[in-house]
Amino acid sequence: MRTVPATCRSCGKCVRPAWRHVTTARRFSVSDTGEPILVVKDLVKHFPLTQGIVFQRTVGHVQAVDGVNLELYPGETMGLVGESGCGKSTVSKLIMGLEKPTSGQILFEGKDVAAMSRRELRRYRRQVQIVFQDPYASLNPRMTVGNIVAEPWDIHPDVVPRKERPRRVRELLDLVGLNPDYANRYPHQFSGGQRQRIGVARALALRPSVLVCDEPVSALDVSVQAQVMNLLEDLQDELGLSYLFIAHDLSVVRHLSDRVAVMYLGRIVESGTHADVYDQPAHPYTQALLSAVPVHEPALRGAKERIVLTGDVPSPADPPSGCRFRTRCWKAQQICVDQDPALVDRGQGHPSACHFAESVEIVHTD
Ligand SMILES: Nc1ncnc2c1ncn2[C@@H]1O[C@H](COP(=O)(O)OP(=O)(O)O)[C@@H](O)[C@H]1O
Ligand code: SF4
Ligand SMILES: [Mg+2]
């Protein structure tokens, strides 16, 4: 346990609003044992596929998540990246308890969430919060912004005393860069970027330590994406949050991630530090994703080889035998059909699930 003097990091004299003072001070007394705060162990979620109207029978399973392992350390950002339909949102729903795993474990501060007492579960539900992808669908259009942000306190009333709530709502709106006077407005009166800020304020209301961000900027205009990303980065610095940051594009999480896991068809195919994955990717799928990152500088266009993946992502209800990526991989051989490659380090310094893993040096031209 690292104990650093609990003074306000920003001012040193606690002249900031109470909200910021409390959270900033909390950061410095956070348990820092070098242990991950959140661990996902062999997580599996298979959705049954049913047929029939009156008598429903199971005819198969959608293997949405099939043996995912992740570790999130205090204060870090873990990027989870993969194409649409690869199981990212299912991972986030399993972590949030919105879906029940078929098998596997989720550990918070070393404790299995499935074996937690009511009290521990309550604390877990406070400590781990989510920011959803769609800021239009995730806010109740009939509630004022103030009530949306304050809603989590109805379930956890001990976090903020009732009479302090209006003031705390204003502080939260201020924290996410919104005018506190907007607390009485309704979601439709805000732009997409502003709505996502409201979603972030609501997620912060319970003073969480982990934020699962499920593609929080994908539904926003490109010009607004950077503003929301910068806000999340500032909040992490200020509040010491840990992020599991989900994106379908490696470029989105590039500036934020400390470590990255790349997902394909329900499994992690490569994971490593920011430098491992962005500068020396070993798995062909990661290499293809990185080659698709657009080059902004006109003079440098054509300087990097573009790998175009052919074919669609196979159905998770009937994934290919052996390596799941083999139907789209230009390096595939017979062993890839016969043997499922384990996610291990094959000499590249970080794990990848490929029989023929080899680091490719990426020259970033953007
Ligand atoms: N409730 C559900 N019932 C059946 N299939 C589902 C359900 N939720 C997700 N899936 C399927 O699981 C797969 C992964 O979905 P999802 O986790 O949403 O992927 P991503 O977030 O990466 O786009 C998809 O094929 C999707 O259709
Ligand atoms: S195991 Fe084979 S098919 Fe899979 S990524 Fe490696 S080379 Fe391609
Ligand atoms: Mg999703």
* Domain assignments of the chain as residue spans, ordered by start: 38-50+69-257, 280-338
How large is the angle between the packed helices 222-239 and 192-204, nearest 10 degrees? 20
- Ligand 2 pocket, residue 326 CB under 6 Å: yes
pTM over 0.95: no
- Ligand 2 pocket, residue 320 CB under 6 Å: no
Exposed/middle/buried for residue 204 (C-beta within 10 Å: 0-12, 13-18, 19+): buried
The protein residue with its alpha carbon nearest to ligand 1, atom 5, reads 47
- Ligand 1 pocket, residue 133 CB under 6 Å: no
Ligand with the closest atom to the CA of 327: 2
- Ligand 1 pocket, residue 262 CB under 6 Å: no
> Which is the closest atom of ligand 2 to the Cα of 335?
2
Ligand with the closest atom to the CA of 342: 2
Class of the domain covering 38-50+69-257: alpha beta
The protein residue with its alpha carbon nearest to ligand 2, atom 1, reads 354
Which string of b and e fits 231-266 if b means at least 16 CB within 10 Å?
bbeebbebbbbbbbbbbbbbebbbebbebbbbbbbb
> Which is the closest atom of ligand 1 to the Cα of 315?
25
Q: Are strands 103-108 and 111-112 parallel, antiparallel or unpaired?
A: antiparallel
- Ligand 1 pocket, residue 231 CB under 6 Å: no
**Predicted local confidence at residue 6, as pLDDT:** 39
DSSP string, 282-323: -SHHHHHHHHTSPP--GGGTTSS---PPPSPPPPTTSPPSSS
How large is the angle between the packed helices 18-28 and 222-239, nearest 10 degrees? 60
Low-confidence ranges of the chain (pLDDT < 50): 1-31
Q: Tokens in use for 364?
A: 């970033």
**Predicted local confidence at residue 56, as pLDDT:** 84
- Ligand 1 pocket, residue 319 CB under 6 Å: no
